[in-house]
Structure 1
Amino acid sequence: MEQPQPHILLLPFPALGHIKPLLSLAELLCYAGLHVTFLNTDHNHRCLTHLQHLSAHFPTLHFDSISDGLPTDHTRNIQVMRDLIDLVVLLKSVTKLRFRDLLAHLSTKSERPVTCVIADGIMSFAIDIAKELGVRVMTFWALSPCSLWSFFCLPKLIEEGQIPVGGEADNDMDQMVRGVPGMEGLLRRRDLPHIYRIQLMDGPFFQFFFEEMKAMIRTSALILNTYDDLEDPALSHIAPLFSRIYTIGPLTTLLKSRIEHDISRSLSSSNNLWEADHSCMTWLDSQSLRSVVYVSFGSTGLMTRGQMMEFWHGLVNSGKPFLWVVRRDDIEGAEAEHPIPEELQEGTEERGFLVDWAPQEEVLAHQAVGGFLTHNGWNSTLEGIVAGVPMVCWPTVADQQINSRWVSEVWRIGLDMKDTCDRSTIEMMIRAVMEERREDIMRSMDPIVKLAHDCVNQGGSSYHNLDKLIEDIKEV
């Protein structure tokens, strides 16, 4: 009997930071000749219709969508706890049922049945359904492996009473954390992922995350967006939990190294999930070498108006040119509607450039950019590493807290400003990465950058691991 051709269904968690790396994986699989269905929620499918152009480059890539159960006008901001709880509750009920119907159709009734599901690490309902329907399933973890290892240590941290942290009575956030092997003497309470700051441990979101971690190890393989030399200690602790692990990052860099040059040039300008304002590239062309601070807090970051004013004052007071991504929904609530102080307007007109969204990888690769003020989402952290740009870290949610600790204390390629937001500190840290400490940081950065590029080229670990993953999928 003829074996079915591989058909992989990819299911990201419905957030842009999760969609982007899985989309790069989808393109890599299609470039290898495999058929891929990329499954978004209806809401994200409508928002990302411009991605349909990828089918012209990858004829075996198809997009589909299912409901997330939320009304059309729901804000869906996953940094707002109420919105996040609404989403995860309905993913477990409404989306789960729709996913079962779709997978049953695609794996039994379609001309090309699904032979493998690759599900986001926090979409475990897909694991249960794939196993029920006899379809192989793998897990893709979109965040950092060092955060994943801390999540796997969650039961022990609960047992020892080390979490939650950060309550009103907690005045010792710099106390070292025990119970995460390999991170002794490094991980402070304030460096734990933000889920550990949730006081209601019996609440729906905490329980959701707890169950997701237990479900992941039921899959046949784990796929990680990292490279071996960057996070070897964490990887060595995670490895015994899975029969196979594929480290294939940085994924966007691997994608560019594998595909043909003409396609690469097209994708580099059009593969942004949101429409970017390319006028900032012309502005960067007019700036001096390594003089500009690039500022972006990601696709979902929120701040108060007071925090925004502190950042703005710090940037202007630093005296450095700055390119700042300021989304329309960056500021919480109605307090965004206030006049901007005259000194900030003048400083911005003289040295600043503000955009709704920027082509981040192009920006970071530009010779004028010398520093990156970032939230330390995993995609942004990897992109900063690949470009070799020193970072000032202001993490807020998810894995960002632990990522920023690794940037400052493990890799020593930036400075960590977590839980602080005052103009004098911002100014001081910008000056440090651009001037006083730049030489020391670049001594640490250069070998890490080289390893990031070496691993995605032929003979490199991520290049080799992608080949192994593709062969593994074909064997099904």
Structure 2
Amino acid sequence: MSFASHAGAGAGDQQHRCCSRTVHFVLVPMMAQGHTIPMTDMARLLAEHGAQISLVTTPVNAGRMAGFVAAVEEAGLPVQLLELPFPAADFGLPDGCENIDMLQCKDDMRKFLEACGALREPLMARLRQHDLPPSCIVSDMMHWWTSDIARELGIPWLTFSGFCTFASLARDIVYRNNLLRDLTDEEEVVKLSGFPTPLELPKARLPGSLCVPGLEEIREKIYDEEMRSDGKVMNSFDELETLYMESYKQVTDKVWTIGPMCLCHRDRNTMAARGNKASLDEVKCLQWLDSKKPGSVIFVSFGTLVSTAPQQLVELGLGLEASNKPFIWVIKAGNKFPVVEKWLADGFEERVIDRGMIIRGWAPQMMILWHQAIGGFMTHCGWNSTIEGICAGVPMITWPHFAEQFLNEKLVVDHLKIGMEVGVKGVTQWGSEQKEAQVTRNSVETAVSTLMNEGEAAQGMRMRAKDFGIKARRALEEGGSSYNNIRLLIQEMGNEQNASG
């Protein structure tokens, strides 16, 4: 499936393009929304600088990219989808199960990753048939098998984790030194020696502690191949993590920070105001926000993979109500939470109708965060959401659940000082539902009231958040650090291609 002619038009001829279009990047995202979104953003950023992009996907996931396809086509950017059939049934998964958010249980993760690995030969065949030989492969680190393709084609293989540099460095120290190998107590505190600032966390809050049957061997392959990669592409910017970037560059060969990638949408943050390009839900959301005072609304959203217990959602809602602050609250749609839906309908929505907006399912997060009415962001600390909050210059209330989210919390709260903890007491493992509430309504009320009021601590967080938002935007402007890194990345991959050719 191809869109946008190779010649390009419109935005494809923007004056900041600097490199030959013969530099051909093959991007291979993991099929999970939190992994795919930044790689589609990466595709757009690289294409805006003149690179030719092939984005590898599968039929179901291609269908989810309709908005991305339309935007790139309208911009005339040299991007094409390279669609491969996904062998779900061959590995014991239901037909059409092509994304991690479609897995029924965490035990299916091994089957899913093995099915991904079976794409090796079909992808190799498609790349050999391509009119333009690939210059390099940029792969999600979970697709360790793509390294074989790059070596066989004689081109560089770069990895992308979707982590920030802070979390990537911590993860590297954990794996490189086998810090979790002999630990059986999930609450045992682990000190990360070699980290540039003091850092310690319980085992359960560190990357690599997730227990999924049959994944140990695959995890080792992922890390071993990552250590052999020709470099890493990061969704961050130098001014955000200067100290950690310097330390990370000492333990890995090459690192390119080319983010914040979400800022490729910077020209569409007010899309709902532009009439027919917005859905009715987006227009309704924007109109609601327009009715609120600047900086008065707290936005609450926990991403696509987090599974929050119904009892916890009720506690969260009661805390928001008690805070007396306007809020937008995103709750997953579907029939998994009949208890919550009944509670919402039994009086909660009516009680907060004048100051609370509840969105079921998908929400236009970037549009919401950039609206002047938003004064705070309660987040699960996934890196995509975290850096979107940073770009919007919004202080945060951190509510991590699993994976590297606790490290992102440390960065936001302790080092950048642009957020505060809500007080999570335990880890909610991915694929496992919470059984009870960990955070009380009182904790939610206290955090929201503290962040949204005019106290000295809150004002300091707001000031620093706005400053990082300005720095984020400057990083991608002409002459900015990420702008220059994108140019250098394309130039180096082009040089590698010419040398091997």
Report the TM-score range of the alignment, normalised by the length of the smaller protein: 0.7 to 0.9
- Residues of 2 paired with 1:433 and 1:318: CA distance? 11
Q: Does 1:344 align with 2:366?
A: no
Instruction: Count residues in correspondence.
Output: 453
Change in Cα spacing, 1:268 to 1:380, as seen in structure 2 (3 Å) is farther
Structure 1 CA distance for aligned equivalents of residues 481 and 98 of structure 2: 40
Find the residue that maps to 1:371 and give its secondary structure.
strand
SS state of the match for residue 277, structure 1?
helix
Which residue in 2 is equivalent to 1:284? 289
> Do residues 319 (structure 1) and 324 (structure 2) align?
yes
1:354 maps to 2:351: no
Larger displacement relative to structure 2 (442-451 or 13-22):
442-451
Q: Could you tell me which residue of structure 2 aligns to residue 225 of structure 1? A: 235
- For 2:205 and 2:351, locate their aligned partners in 1 and report how far apart those are by CA, in whole Å: 36
TM-superposed deviation, 1:376: 1.0
| C-alpha displacement of 1:36 | 1.1
Distance in 1 (alpha carbons) for counterparts of 2:388 and 2:289 = 18
CA deviation string 1:218-267 (max 9, x = no partner): 221211011112222322232134332111111122x357xxx6x89779
Q: Given the alignment of the two structures, is residue 238 of structure 1 paired with residue 248 of structure 2, yes or no?
A: yes
Report whether the alignment pairs 1:103 with 2:124. Answer: yes
1:472 corresponds in structure 2 to 492
Is 1:29 the counterpart of 2:46 in the alignment? Answer: yes
Distance, in Å, in 2 between the alignment partners of 1:208 and 1:334 is 37
Does residue 427 of structure 1 match 2:445? Answer: yes
Identical residues among aligned pairs (%): 25
- 1:112-146 deviation digits (Å, cap 9, x = unpaired): 22222110122111112221232332112212222
Letter of the structure 2 residue corresponding to residue 55 of structure 1? E
Give the aligned partner of residue 434 of structure 2.
Answer: none
Give the counterpart of 2:375 among 370, 373, 388.
Answer: 370
Distance 2:184 2:225 in 1: 22
Consecutive unaligned residues of structure 2, counting only runs of 5 or more, are 1-19, 426-437
- Structural RMSD (CA): 3.1
Q: Residue 146 of structure 1 aligns to which amino acid in structure 2?
A: F
Amino acid at match of 1:325: V
Query: Counterparts of 1:1-12 in structure 2 under 5 Å?
Result: 5-12=22-29
Query: What amino acid sits opposite 1:196 in the alignment?
Result: S
How far off is 1:340 after superposition?
3.3
| Counterpart mapping for 1:445-456 below 5 A | 445-456=465-476
Deviation at 1:215, TM superposition (A): 1.2
Aligned residue in 1 for 2:312 = 307
AA paired with 1:189? P
* Cα drift, residue 290 of structure 1: 0.9
User: Would the aligned equivalents of 1:278 and 1:358 in 2 still touch at CA under 8 Å?
Assistant: no
CA contact (8 A) 2:272 2:282 kept: no
Structure 2 vs 1, CA of residues 267 and 430 (structure 1 numbering), >3 Å: closer, same or farther? closer
**Match for 1:220: what amino acid?**
D
- Amino acid paired to 1:208: I
Query: How big is the shift at 1:450?
Result: 3.0
Aligned partners of 1:386 and 1:452 also within 8 Å? yes
Query: Shift of the alpha carbon at 1:304?
Result: 1.0
Query: CA 1:208–1:21 in structure 2 vs 1: closer, same or farther (change >3 Å)?
Result: same
Does the 8 Å CA contact 2:40/2:68 hold for their aligned counterparts?
no
1:268/1:241 Cα in 2 relative to 1: closer, same or farther (>3 Å)?
farther
Between 211-220 and 11-20, report the one with greater CA deviation: 211-220
1:116 and 1:140 mapped to 2: Cα distance? 13
Gap runs ≥5 in structure 1? none
Partner of 1:71: 94
Instruction: Please give the TM-score of this superposition, normalised by the length of structure 1.
Output: 0.86
Cα deviation for residue 341 of structure 1 reads 6.8
Q: Secondary structure at the match of 1:340?
A: helix
Q: Is the Cα contact below 8 Å between 2:180 and 2:209 reproduced in 1?
A: no
CA distance in 2, matches of 1:79, 1:465: 35
Q: Distance between the aligned counterparts of 1:328 and 1:362, measured in 2?
A: 20
1:93-132 mapped onto 2 (5 Å cutoff): 94-106=115-127, 108-132=128-152
Work out the CA distance in 2 between the residues paired with 1:440 and 1:36: 42
The structural deviation recorded for 1:443 is 3.7
Distance 1:269 1:249 in 2: 26
- TM norm structure 2: 0.82
Q: CA deviation at 1:49?
A: 3.1
Choose which of 397, 409, 412 in structure 1 pairs with 2:414: 409
1:380 counterpart = 2:390: no
Distance in 2 separating the partners of 1:264 and 1:304:
32
Q: Deviations over 1:49-98 (max 9, x none)?
A: 34321223234211122216232364955597x64442443433x33233
Question: More displaced, 97-106 or 379-388?
Answer: 97-106
Using the TM superposition, name which of 16-25 and 306-315 deviates more.
16-25
Secondary structure in structure 2 of the residue aligned to 1:395: coil
